[in-house]
Structures are given as structure tokens and as C-alpha cells.
Amino acid sequence: MAAAGALAGRAVTIVGAGIGGLTAALALARRGAAVTVLERAGALREVGAGIQVSPNAVRVLEALDIGRDFTAVSVPSHGVTLRDAAGARVLHMDFDRWRPGAAFRTVHRARLIAVLDDAARAAGATILLDTPVETLPDAGLLIGADGLHSRVRVALNGTETPFFTGQAAWRTLVPLEDAASFGAQVFMGPGRHMVSYPLAYGLRNIVAVEERAAWTAEDWSRPDDPAALRAAFADFGGPVPGWLSQVTDCAVWGLHRHRVAPRWHDDRRAILGDAAHPTLPFLAQGACMAIEDAWVLAACLDADADQPRALARYQALRRPRCVRIVEAANANARNYHLSGPRRRVGHTALRLADRLAPRAVFERFAWVYDHDPTAVA
Ligand SMILES: Cc1cc2nc3c(=O)[nH]c(=O)nc-3n(C[C@H](O)[C@H](O)[C@H](O)COP(=O)(O)OP(=O)(O)OC[C@H]3O[C@@H](n4cnc5c(N)ncnc54)[C@H](O)[C@@H]3O)c2cc1C
């Protein structure tokens, strides 16, 4: 990518080296900016579990020339199969059939971070670990990619209190069985559901969500006893008992709802990723939105030397889409957990759709996956 735009030679400081911060570092450095990333963690490549990456985000990775590296550490996802708690099929969304050639993939978060980290450094970005930001530095351009508890978001929007959704989620990894099919499966029971998909390197990712009254902390890395996870899903059938019998450690966190930040920038600061729009995980778009943001932010800044105007354009291009995605994820949370007669009616409708118009269900989400952020900006 030629560095002839408005970013050439400009200094940019990014707080946070998660998926959003590293993608931004890469996108900005490729356009000639002098990028410094400040990350409080001492090591980048260890945390997290699986992430589903859909074509809307893969288009950005490809435009950043890391498509091949990403493919090497990820596996394809052929579709999403919704099942009832016993394991019987309710509906299948066939990615291969409805979008042949589009890249739906799954990856371990740490592997994606490693690809982004290597590419950002190779493009000239400086990434400083063990560098927690307590007071926001006075920089010509400061980007807050500092996640859920973003200080930059607070500086722009004030403090807001999220509310507990009444749902707790476990995440864990188990060994991948032989002859596993590559795609996501969602098992839906009253008040609970489980999502699972294979990752590369012989791993299966599991996220299991249960409704509960008591508050659970919003912290990805809080360990829990695997027996609690097994007990919550003891009446689930199909492959679930076999998977859960292999869990040796798991983490649990409380799902909270946050507003999409009303204000994403001032003249010298901007936010992206979870800092701007934390989402429930039910559309698997948290990391994808962060990747999209990073590209669009870099493109807007590069296209217009008037920084305040470029940042306003960035928010205008991104916020409506992120609001729509966050709302769609909220709606999925309700639909997965139906109970009683509503559940019977809902599942019957989906089974009918599976038989009569399977493509229609997939097409309802086409606006998520067909989007090309590299064409927008
Ligand atoms: C530990 C962890 C595990 C996750 N696991 C999954 C998963 O398994 N599946 C999934 O779909 N999503 C997962 N996510 C969420 C998903 O990665 C995010 O939705 C998406 O990646 C958004 O990324 P982000 O870069 O905006 O924020 P984050 O990934 O949260 O990155 C923010 C970064 O900023 C750093 N930071 C924060 N405050 C400061 C500060 N004051 N000074 C310096 N650095 C700071 C953090 O250490 C972190 O590295 C996980 C997130 C985290 C943090």
C-alpha cells in the first residue's frame, strides 16, 4: 500500500493491543503513520479462546495483506446448525451453499493476535508491553482500543453503568474429536444454550450460557469449577455430554449490556472496538466489528488531512452499523432461550423454515456478512 495519503509521517498513539488496537496499528502503519501502541499486559499471545471471523472482517485482513497468514492459523466454518437441547436439528444455515467462496472461519484469539502483532511490527509499529495507561497522554491523535473498561470512552462520554443481563457464560476448550465437521453448532434449551465449533490445532471451542439471578462479574478470565458447567448442562444430549466430560478448566463471566457510545471522538481522540460498542456474543461480531472499525478509521484519516472532520466521518460511517449489530445480538439472546409454549412454537417455525425456505433465514443476516468495509471507506 503506497503511503501517500494524509497519514504519512503522522504520529498516532493507540491504547490497547487487542484485536482492534493491533488491526488499527497495522492499518495506520501501512498508510505511513508513526504508530505507538501502549499495552498494559506483559504478553499478548496467551489469552482467550475461540472467535468466529466472518467475511466482512476477513475482507479487511485480506486488504491488509495478512489473509494468507490468517488462513494458516484458522479453519473454515461451513455453516451454523441450530439444535434443540437433545441434539436434534432445528435449522441449518449453509455458508458454503449460500455464499460459496466467502470466508467464514474460526480461530483461537491468541493465534489471530499473533498474526496481527507480527504484521503490525513488520509494518513499523512500536508495541510497548507492560505499559498501563493511567492518565491519557496528550497526543496529536490518541486512539482508545482499550476494550470494555475503556478510559478513552469515559473521557469522551463520562462514566456509564452497564446492566447485568441475567446471563452467565462459560468458555472452555476441549480436544477436537476425529472427523469433526467444521462449523458452529448451537444447542438451545430453556434458559440455556451452548455454542461450539472446531478450531485449528486439534481444539474445540465451547461457550455455554445460562440464565441466573445472581450477578456475575464482567471479567473474561475468572476461573470456575468444570463441575458447575457440567451440572448446568446435564440434561443436554447429542455430543454435549462427551464434550463436557473432557473439560478440565473453564472461565465464567457475566454478560452485561452496554450502550453503544454516543460519542466516538473529539478533535484528538477516537475509540474503536469494545471501547466504543461492547456487544453480547450472540452474533459473534465483537472482534469482527473491531477489525472493521480499524480499517475505516485508518481510511478516513488517510483520506482527509482535517483530523476532526475525518474522525466525524469515521463515526458517521461506523456507528449505525455497530448499533444494528449490537441490537441483533441482543435479539438472538432472547430467541435462543425461549421456554414453554413459546419455545415449541419458535422451534417449529424454524424447523419449517429449514425445510421450506432455509436460505431466507441466512439472508436475514446477509447485511452483516456481505458488508465490505474496504469499499465503504
Ligand atoms: C482476555 C480476553 C478474552 C477474550 N476471549 C474472547 C473469546 O474467546 N471469544 C470472543 O468472541 N471474544 C473474546 N473476547 C472479546 C473479543 O476479543 C472482543 O470483542 C474483540 O476482540 C474486541 O477487541 P478490542 O481490541 O476492542 O478489545 P480487547 O480485546 O478487550 O483489547 C483491549 C486491550 O486493551 C488493553 N488495555 C485496556 N486498558 C488499558 C490501559 N489502561 N492501558 C493499556 N492497555 C490497556 C487490554 O489489556 C487489551 O489488551 C476476549 C477479550 C479479552 C480481553
pLDDT tens digit string along 340-359? 788 788 888 888 888 888 88
Closest CA to 12 of 278, 322, 294: 294
State the pLDDT at residue 221.
72
User: Which conformational region is residue 111 in: left (phi greater than 0), alpha (psi within -120 to 50 degrees), or beta?
Assistant: alpha
Q: Which residues of 70-105 are buried (b: 16+ CB within 10 A; e: fewer)?
A: bbebbbebbbbbbbbbeeeebbbbbbeebbeeebbb
What pLDDT digit, counting tens, does each position of 95-105 carry?
Answer: 999 999 999 99
> Ligand 1 pocket, 133 CB below 6 A?
yes
- Rounded to the nearest angstrom, the distance between the alpha carbon of 363 and the centre of ligand 1 is 30
Q: Are 2 and 31 in contact (CB under 8 A)?
A: no
Instruction: Give the atom of ligand 1 at the shortest distance from the alpha carbon of 284.
Output: 11
Specify the residue with its C-alpha closest to ligand 1, atom 7: 49
> Ligand 1 pocket, 210 CB below 6 A?
no
- Residue in this structure with the C-alpha cell 439472546, named with its chain if needed: 333
> Ligand 1 pocket, 38 CB below 6 A?
yes
Mean pLDDT of 290-295: 98
Whether residue 216 has pLDDT greater than 70: no
What's the whole-model pTM score?
0.95
Mutate to test the pocket of ligand 1, among 26, 38, 108, 109 (most ligand atoms within 8 A of CB): 109
Mean pLDDT of 124-151: 96
Given the candidates 3.40.50.1260, 3.90.76.10, 3.40.50.720, 3.50.50.60, the CATH classification of the domain at 11-77+106-161+258-335 is 3.50.50.60
What pLDDT digit, counting tens, does each position of 13-38 carry?
Answer: 999 999 999 999 999 999 999 999 99
Specify the residue with its C-alpha closest to ligand 1, atom 2: 48
> Ligand 1 pocket, 171 CB below 6 A?
yes
Residue-averaged pLDDT of the chain: 93
> Ligand 1 pocket, 110 CB below 6 A?
no
Instruction: Give the atom of ligand 1 at the shortest distance from the alpha carbon of 47.
Output: 1
Specify the residue with its C-alpha closest to ligand 1, atom 26: 273
What pLDDT digit, counting tens, does each position of 110-121 carry?
Answer: 999 999 999 999
Q: Grade residue 237 by pLDDT with cuts at 50, 70 and 90.
A: very high
Instruction: Give the atom of ligand 1 at the shortest distance from the alpha carbon of 278.
Output: 19
> Ligand 1 pocket, 343 CB below 6 A?
no
What pLDDT digit, counting tens, does each position of 168-215 carry?
Answer: 999 999 999 887 789 999 999 988 999 999 998 999 999 999 998 877
Whether residue 1 has pLDDT greater than 60: no
Residue 87: all three cell numbers together:
441434539
> Ligand 1 pocket, 117 CB below 6 A?
no
Using CA atoms of 105, 317, 257, 91 in order, give the dihedral in degrees to the nearest 10: -40
State the pLDDT at residue 104.
97
| Polymer length in residues for the chain | 377
> Ligand 1 pocket, 17 CB below 6 A?
yes
Mean pLDDT of 4-21: 96
Instruction: Give the atom of ligand 1 at the shortest distance from the alpha carbon of 44.
Output: 49
For residue 336, indicate whether it is catalytic: no
State the pLDDT at residue 46.
66
